[in-house]
Structures are given as structure tokens and as C-alpha cells.
Amino acid sequence: MLTSKQRAYLRGIANSYETILIIGKGGMTENVIKQADEALEARELIKGRVLENADISSRESAEAIAEKTRSEVVQVIGSKFVLFRQKKKESQFVLPKSKKKS
């Protein structure tokens, strides 16, 4: 589970990213899930978009993809969303640590 500080860090990085996952009127297909999974494996942080003619909202699609790819929803704004799944080894992201309460 990401902390708010980690989400803010990842949102800042995702601002400069291109949208690579697009969900159209076909909705959530196995191909979309597969594309998202492969992109997360390669990049760790991806940006997606839901077209207006899709029968699913961006929040619903982001949560569904996150569940099926074992990733986390970083942000959903309008028709766009950002997903993150950190690699176990050799991650390119160093997330800020959360402060532990004493």
C-alpha cells in the first residue's frame, strides 16, 4: 500500500509520461489487461486513458486493472489514470520512506 507521500512522488514523475494504455468502446478485454501487465513489468509506472465511448469509468477501469495486475492506483483524474507496480529487484524508483510513529 502506497502512502500519500509516495503517491505524490509518483504523480510528479507520471506528469511527464505519455499515455500508453488506452481503453476504448471494447472495454476491459484480456488484451488490455495483458498490455498493462507487460507495460508494468517493463516500466513500473504507466499512464492510461479511457475514451469517452467506453462503457466503463476511468476509476473502475484503473481499479480493475490494478487488481488483475497486482499493481496500485496512484491517481485518477478525468479520463486518465496512473498505475504503479514496483519490481522486486532492480527497481528504477526509490520511494520516500514513511515515518513510523513511536
DSSP notation for 11-50: HHHHTTPPEEEEE-TT-S-HHHHHHHHHHHHHHSEEEEEE
Confidence of residue 102 (pLDDT cuts 50, 70, 90): very low
Scan for cell 500500500, then name that residue: 1
Q: Which residues are registered as beta bridge partners of 47?
A: 19, 82
pLDDT digits (tens, 9 = 90+) for 25-79: 888 889 999 999 999 999 999 999 999 999 999 999 999 999 999 999 999 999 9
Where are the chain's structural domains?
A: 4-84
Q: Is residue 24 packed enough to be buried (19+ CB in 10 Å), middle (13-18) or exposed (0-12)?
A: middle
pLDDT at 93: 80
Superfamily of domain 4-84: YhbY-like (3.30.110.60)
SS3 state at 34: helix
- Considering only residues 95 and 4, tell me which one the structure prediction assigns the higher pLDDT: 4
Could you give the CA distance from residue 72 to residue 84 in angstroms, rounded to a whole number? 5
pLDDT at 2: 87
pLDDT at 99: 66
pLDDT at 85: 94
pLDDT at 100: 59
pLDDT at 30: 92
